[in-house]
Copies of this chain bind each other. A is one copy, B any other.
């Protein structure tokens, strides 16, 4: 990745790779067949590019993402694909000049939505991930509870998050069948037009749903890069080499991209060297990454003080949440900037 001269660390989007990713998804799942998940990128600027590509329905994980999207004029059809009992935040979403649907999975979440004036819900169904979602057998009862209170029940959602991280495509496919059987069972009890599910890892495997919730495909990360998907790594954290040293017989390099600039839950990031190869990453501390060349590498590739390096995060979502903006780069030149304006809750 060709990096421009920037104050670092900085989130950098490779415009060519990003365009490729957006085009690939828009061709595979045009318009409302893909409901982009803004939690992956937290940016109305980026979301606007997806709307231009035909996706004008979005989902989100936090009320603040919903409110920010609506205020940016992207509120045609917003789904909070997550539960909340926060009366104030539910009321703020209900008051938006936007079509807002929220996920519910219990008496308490239905009642909280009703009390706040939320007008539409999806019944969230547990399809195998030990997280939110009711059991399928309870979905009809919850739908009925919401409808009796005058709330539109648009259908069901179920997130097969327990499959998303499996690098083997066949394993993801095999796991989908029982997961989606549970979701369709629930849909039979609930009704409605919407069967929402999926993610980047199953976007072309999940043929049961009416719409796929995917966000990571736009930027990708080193974890998803191992999953055999047709999307390219478009995101890097640009860093600057600020020190070099020796430990025993090894030379190492230190750049200014630490764990406060990286989501670390998926492990260490990759460092891309000037020749496109990957360095051996030793560790990250708060503001630094220490790496060396692989033992068989040409020592001339060891970056000099002041030179830029591209750090490839292991997990896109929490990485983005630590930054204020994306710098969009084409041919080594910054051509645009998108604020990360949907952070927080």
- Out of B254, B260, B265, which one reaches A317, CB within 8 Å? B260
Query: Are A126 and B245 within 8 A (Cβ)?
Result: yes
Q: Classify the secondary structure of A's interface with B.
A: loop
User: Is the CB–CB distance between B39 and A321 below 8 Å?
Assistant: no
Q: Mark A1-35, 1 if CB is under 8 A from B, else 0.
A: 00000011100000000000000000000000000
- The answer to whether B88 and A318 touch across the interface, beta carbons within 8 angstroms, is no
Query: How many monomers of this protein are in the complex?
Result: 2
Interface members, chain A 247-278 (any B CB < 8 Å): 247, 252, 254, 256, 259-261, 263-265
**Contact of A213 with B by CB under 8 A:** no
How far apart are A103's CB and chain B's nearest CB, in angstroms? 10
Residue A311 interfacial (CB < 8 Å): no
Distance in angstroms from A115 CB to nearest chain B CB is: 13
Binds B, one of A141-149, A171-179, A284-292: A284-292
Q: Assess the A286–B61 pair: CB atoms within 8 A.
A: yes
The closest CB in chain B to the CB of A164 belongs to B285
A285 to B81, CA, bound (A): 14
Q: Are A105 and B243 in contact (CB under 8 A)?
A: yes
A294 CB within 8 Å of chain B: no
